[in-house]
Structure 1
């Protein structure tokens, strides 16, 4: 199978980050169908929605309805994006127990994305942590624009490390390092992740990448090599940030899986995922950006039918 080592798990973020820029909406029923299809395939963790304002990010409007329809067992592996303590309260009331508390390393992006400074978001995190703990949940520290900001430019590693070391983030079980714009390069990703591992409190390290400049998979592999054990991707490379000009889709889940080859992935599993991905993007009217999906559909005369991953 040629598994990539060290190993890391995939978190598919299609139902949150993947849908943020889509023009078409998905019903609660359709979202639940995709979530359950991915869980049935063996995808270890999912990001299933956001408490972002529905007037700003309309595809997230039915997130709480999705959460309410999932079982407790399903929700054990599902994450909800939040930006305030009140978001945690609302998501917890619907049944969520895994919360991704997100703000930006850059003040300018945090103002555009959340409507407040990074310091204000950071100051509110202890309350969010306490609410998550009160319902037996867990919360991640998610740092957007960890490498570059569309308004402020490059972000220093020390800025990210200062946030990660801030005592107000104590209690976060994970830290998510985000290449929000997809402008980082592998050496840069490896450098920052290595420093987060070595110089900040021990937490699970998550890497969230975008493929804007074609380095999504390379950056993901660099992150894994440096110590990340969970990496984000979306079906077909769908996604992007509505408040980050120039950000395109997430790194494709299929491409990450094909590169890393976790135990649960087989040619048959990939074939099913390709079908799920293709139908979803057709429903949304979005282009297919996954190279793996494109390769998997190469069973034509004179192409590569003998390759076991071709479907």
Structure 2
């Protein structure tokens, strides 16, 4: 029997938000729009286009709303924006955005470092953010950072995540995003928590957001999918990290996740174009490309259809 892949899982590319947070280089509005449209054209269904974080705190994301204003309504349907307050939702909605990722940390210490308030304060403000979202016909995700470990408090208990997910104030959120912010989780931890979220909390789409700090990004993503996640996050070339989480490194690579999941739209030719897009961006930002799959395409094993010994001349 031929091997089959799970075609029901979608990838959200987070290059333009989480991917850019730690970069020294800044991208223009025009360049960000170009990258976003290239990803959509290749087949990526969901894109995190930026953040409402303070521009002075995260300069690479300062032009997020300007990017949104350049997009069509159809393009905006595929885009998510990171928010942390009801006011963020209100301002992003005014720019035409309708998909919001309301994020706070399971640990107070990281939430204070990242957002400037404790977790309870963030949770208490969520119903107002949901109300703004519903008023514009949008969708809002419950995004829980440091779902496994915190750089200041260590291991986070599974029950802490379950309790947040079951809190009545999260009612109205369409998805729940479970984040391995530091990339310190292992597959069995991911499988266990995602399973409990699926079985013990209100029915929502489960999203997994992982980092590859300890080399288990793809393995953890696949464990999340096996446990019930149907949307997973990745960034081109493994770019990214959290400026307020010491020890965090890049996101799990978009290229590596797609090579592992093999969605129906992904052909070797499209994959080559995706790799080229990542190569060009990482070179532009003077950042290393951490994608193992991108490295694999350079193999001279020409009998394997996913390699591109002559990719520069055969893939547009």
- Rounded to whole Å, the distance in 2 between the matches of 1:251 and 1:198 is 26
When normalised by structure 1's length, the TM-score is 0.97
* Counterpart Cα distance in 1 of 2:19 and 2:294: 16
- Helix, strand or coil at the partner of 1:171: coil
Deviation at 1:2, TM superposition (A): 4.0
Matches within 5 A, 1:189-208: 189-208=190-209
Structural mapping, 1:34-49, within 5 Å: 34-49=35-50
Determine if the alignment matches structure 1 residue 310 to structure 2 residue 303.
no
Q: What is the Cα deviation at residue 7 of structure 1?
A: 3.6
Describe the SS at the equivalent of 2:102. strand
Question: Quick check: 1:3–1:262 contact (8 Å CA) kept in 2?
Answer: no
Q: What is the distance in 1 between the residues matched to 2:246 and 2:97?
A: 30
CA deviation vs aligned residue, 1:239-267 (integer Å, no higher than 9, x gap): 00000000000000000000010000000
Q: Is the 8 A contact 2:7 2:263 kept in 1?
A: no
Alignment of 1:9-88 (within 5 A): 9-88=10-89
Q: Any unmatched runs of 5+ in structure 1?
A: none
1:307 Cα shift?
1.1
Is residue 12–residue 47 contact of structure 2 (8 Å, CA) maintained in 1? yes
Paired residues in the alignment total 307
Residue 213 (1) aligns with residue 214 (2): yes
Q: After superposition, where does 1:98-109 map in structure 2 within 5 Å?
A: 98-109=99-110
Aligned structure 1 segments of 4 or more residues deviating by more than 6 angstroms: none
CA distance change for structure 1 residues 251 and 91 in 2, over 3 Å: closer, same or farther?
Answer: same
In the TM superposition, residue 3 of structure 1 has moved relative to its aligned partner by 3.9
Normalising by structure 2, report the TM-score: 0.96
User: For 1:3 and 1:27, how far apart are their aligned partners in 2?
Assistant: 40
- C-alpha distance in structure 1 between counterparts of 2:284 and 2:208, whole Å: 28
Secondary structure of 1:56 counterpart: coil
Q: Distance in 2 between the 1:27 and 1:168 partners?
A: 38
Q: Does 1:261 align with 2:258?
A: no
Q: Over residues 271-303 of structure 1, what are the superposed CA-to-partner deviations in whole Å (9 max), with x where a residue is unaligned?
A: 0001100000011010000000001122xxxx3
CA-based RMSD: 0.9
Residue matched to 1:112 = 113
In structure 2, how many angstroms separate the alpha carbons of the residues matched to 1:62 and 1:4? 38
Q: Work out the CA distance in 1 between the residues paired with 2:160 and 2:254.
A: 29
Q: Within 2, Cα distance between the matches of 1:113 and 1:37?
A: 31
CA contact (8 A) 1:209 1:250 kept: yes
Where in structure 2 are there 5+ consecutive unaligned residues? 309-316
Say if 1:6 and 1:224, in contact at 8 Å, map to a contact too: no
Contact residue 145 and residue 179 of structure 2 kept, 8 A: yes
Separation of aligned partners in 1, 2:55 and 2:185: 30
Q: CA deviation at 1:6?
A: 7.3
Alignment deviations for residues 63-102 of structure 1 (CA, whole Å, 9 cap, x no partner): 0000111111001010000000000011000000000000
SS state at 1:139 partner: strand
Alignment partners' CA distance in 2, 1:201 and 1:121:
20
Pick closer, same or farther for the CA change 1:226–1:6 going to 2, 3 Å.
farther
SS at match of 1:23: coil
